[in-house]
Amino acid sequence: MSGSGKSNQNTAATSAAVDISIQLGVLILVIICCYLILKPFIPLVTWGIILAVALYPVYHAVNAKLGNRRKLTAAILTIAALLVIILPGIQMAGSGVDGLQLLNDKLKQEELKIPPPPEKVKEWWVIGSTVYTVWQQASVNLEATLQRYQPQVTAAVKWLLSTAVDTVLGVVMFAVSIIIAGILMTTAHSGGQVARHLFVRLVGDRGSEFVDISEQTIRGVVKGILGVAVIQALLAGLGFWIAGIPGAGVWAFLSLVLAIVQIGIGPVVLGVIIYAFSNMSTLPAVVLTVYLVVLTVYLIVVAIGDGPLKAIFLGRGAAVPMAVIFLGAIGGFIWIGFLGLFIGAVILSLSYILFKTWMGDDPDSSGIEEDSEPKSSADYAI
C-alpha cells in the first residue's frame, strides 16, 4: 500500500474519531440538559413509580371488583391514600406547632420543671457524667442552663424548625407522588412494556427478570420494613395524643424514623415517660406509662420472631436473600432518606444478581417463587 493510501486511511480514521467524539459530546450535553430540566421532578416521579408498584396488587383486585373500570379504581385508591397521608400530616404539623408553642410559653412563665436526675445516670457508659451534670444544672436553674448552652440550644432549635419545614414539604411532595402513582396505575400496561424493553436493552435477555426482582423488592420493603414501622409509630403516637403529650405528632414521627432504622421506639418512649412523671398528675402519668410499657414489651416479644417475619415479608417471592434486601433498604435510608429505602434495596438486589451471574452461578437456581399473588405486575399487564 502506498504512502498516500495510508495517509488517506489515517485521515479518514481521524475524521471518523472526531465525528464520533463530537456526536458523543452533543449527546452527553443533551442528557445533562434533560437531567437539569427534569431534576425538580425526579423525586416526585420516583416516589410515584414506587407507590404504583407497591399498590398495584390492590389496584388490580379492586379493578376486578369494579368491572375493569381503571380510572375509577385509580381515583378511589388515590383519594383514599391522600386521606391516609394528609390527615395524619396535618395532625402532626398542628401537634408540633402546639407543642413548640406550649414549650415556649412554659419557658417564658418559668413553669417548666425538670426533676433531678437519678444517681444511676452517672453509671451510663461514656456520657453518664456529662448527662448527669447538665441534667442536674437544668433541674436547679433551667434558664441559666439554657443561657450557658445557648449555642447548642440555638442549633437544636434551628434543626427542629428545619426538620418541621422539611416534613411539611415532604407531606406535600408525597401527596403529589400519590396522584402521579394513580395516573401510572391507569397506564400500567404501556408503562410495564417500556420498563421491560429498557431493561432488555440494558442487560439483555434477562431484563424481564430484573423488572420482576425490582417489583418484588419494592413490595417486600413496603411490607417488611415500612409497614411494620408505621404500625409501631401509629400505636405509640396514639398513646401520646390521648395522654395530651405536647408535640405528639413530632414524637410519633421520630418513633417512625427510629423504627425504620431498626433502633426501635424505646428511646422516644423512655423520654415521654420521664416527661409524663415530671409534668403530669400521677394517674395520667401511670396510665400512659402502663400503656407504653405494654406496647414496648409487646414489640420486644415480636422482635424475637422478627427474623422469620422479615424473611417472609422481605424475601417473599424473590430470588434475592432477605439480608441483601434489608441491608440495601437500611443503607439507602441512611444515604438519602426515605426514598433510599427502596432505591437502596433495588440497587443492591440487582447488583446481587449481576454478581452471581459474573461468578458463573445460575441465579435461576434459587428461583423466583410463586405465591398466592401473580409473579409480577406483568401478569396484570404492567
pLDDT at 234: 81
pLDDT at residue 189 greater than cutoff 60: yes
Spatial neighbors of 184 by CB under 8 A, at least 6 apart, are: 48, 49, 52, 191
Pick the closest to residue 225 from 250, 257, 267 (CA basis).
257
State how far the alpha carbon of 58 is from the alpha carbons of 24, 179, 185, 314, 373, in Å.
44, 16, 11, 18, 11
pLDDT at 312: 52
Residue 24, pLDDT above cutoff 90: yes
316: left (phi over 0), alpha (psi -120 to 50) or beta: beta
For range 42-47, the mean pLDDT: 88
Kindly state the percentage of the chain with pLDDT values over 70: 74
Distance of alpha carbon 71 from the chain centroid: 28
Q: Distance (Å, rounded) from C-alpha 107 to C-alpha 98?
A: 14
CA distances from 218 to 63, 208, 344 (A): 21, 16, 10
pLDDT for 22 equals 93
User: What mean pLDDT value characterizes the chain?
Assistant: 75
| Exposure b/e, 304-341, CB count within 10 A at least 16 = b | eeeeeebeebbbbbbbbebebbbebbbbbbeeeebbbb
The arithmetic mean of pLDDT across residues 206-231, rounded, is 79
Q: pLDDT tier at 305 (50, 70, 90 boundaries)? A: very low
The predicted structure's pLDDT at residue 35 = 93
211 neighbors 199 (Cβ within 8 angstroms): yes
**Cell of residue 266, nine digits:** 424505646
User: Is 321 within 8 Å of 315 (Cβ atoms)?
Assistant: yes
- Residue 374: per-residue pLDDT: 43
What does 233-256 look like in DSSP terms, one character per residue? Answer: HHHHHHHHHHHT-TTHHHHHHHHH
Whether 58 shows a pLDDT value over 80: the answer reads yes
Q: Per mean pLDDT, which range of 48-62, 79-93, 282-296, 333-347 is the poorest? A: 282-296
Amino acid at site 194: V
Rounded to an integer, what distance in angstroms lies between the CA atom of residue 149 and that of residue 226? 37
Question: C-alpha cell of 362?
Answer: 445460575
Backbone conformation region of residue 367, classed left if phi is above 0, alpha if psi is from -120 to 50, else beta? left
* Pairwise CA distance, residues 187 & 214, whole Å: 18
More confident residue, 75 or 174: 75
- Band (pLDDT 50/70/90 cuts) for residue 26 is very high
Those residues with Cβ within 8 angstroms of residue 206's Cβ, 6 or more apart along the chain or in another chain:
353, 357
Of 11-15, 102-106, 172-176, 273-277, which gets the smallest average pLDDT? 102-106
The tens digit of pLDDT for each residue in 237-253 reads 888 878 777 777 778 87
> Per-residue confidence at 5, pLDDT binned at 50, 70, 90?
low
CA distance 42 to 127: 42
DSSP label of 109: T
Output Rg (C-alpha) for the chain, integer angstroms: 27
Q: 97, 250 in Cβ contact below 8 A?
A: no
With beta carbons less than 8 A apart as the criterion, state whether 236 and 252 touch: yes
pLDDT of residue 2 exceeding 60, the answer is no
The predicted model scores a pTM of 0.62
Task: With a cut of 80, say whether residue 54 has pLDDT above it.
Answer: yes
Q: What is the pLDDT of residues 110-159, one digit of tens each?
A: 666 677 777 777 776 667 778 788 878 877 777 777 778 778 777 877 77
Which triple of cell numbers denotes residue 346?
433495588
Name which of 13, 346, 19, 301 is nearest 199 in CA terms.
346
Spatial neighbors of 306 by CB under 8 A, at least 6 apart, are none
Q: What is the pLDDT of residue 37?
A: 95
Between 74 and 316, residue with greater pLDDT: 74
User: Cα separation of 37 and 47, whole Å?
Assistant: 18
pLDDT at 173: 83
Confidence class for position 278, pLDDT limits 50, 70, 90: low
* Structural domain spans, the chain: 187-368
Give the per-residue pLDDT at 33: 96
With bands split at pLDDT 50, 70 and 90, how would you rate the model's confidence at 279? Answer: low
